[in-house]
Structure 1
């Protein structure tokens, strides 16, 4: 039987993908002292990378969708870390987001709202978090957004 968070995701039409395996010599998450640190999740949807540079060849709305995709991948990692029980998640503590953008682009916070707004919509108050939204000259594989997260577990 799905838990509260999984039920809410289903109501939103969101199915969490399988948690992605690491692409190099690192682990996807580490639990320490009741906190779960999730490695950066790149913007992917339907198994395809969302690539582009904000301020050059990508509009803010597409960047917002890319950030939401990162948040979905973060929740998939949390679910994997919790043995499939997403309701072990107590709250999202902090997101650090990197936006592939030009030097002139200044709307990184608007882009990262795609992740923040989704987490609050899906998790309610447990989704409210501290955050950083920073520009990056480039990201792995040319993706538009990468987000890492810290989560508190029950």
Structure 2
């Protein structure tokens, strides 16, 4: 797999220069994962960031209501999308879990290594953190729409 060409196909990375792509490629580890595997687990230390190359993954939020625990699938992740970004924004633990729905190929990045690169190349850090921010904003918007839909369904049932 040509990691550099794949990253170039992702709009959020379009502002990187060739040398910056090379730096990011050196940080990437390609992983192949079978369906049903947990990639990141809510509450565990957030040490990695992932980009989906192929396949689909569900993002699951576990909630503890005291007497009952429930898991909710909040979104799915597909090719070109980033997930498990908690550590990139100084969350010490993953805030949700990722479970593969299909065979998946992932790019895996160690957050500490990325932070070192960002210190050496602030422009690279800016571009990649902007990509993380766009991902977070997109997920927030998706969650807002889900919440509004839930209220709309309740109101129409009353």
State the TM-score, normalizing by the size of structure 2.
0.29
State the TM-score, normalizing by the size of structure 1.
0.29
Structure (1/2) with the larger helix percentage: 2
- Asked which structure has the greater CA Rg, the reply is 2
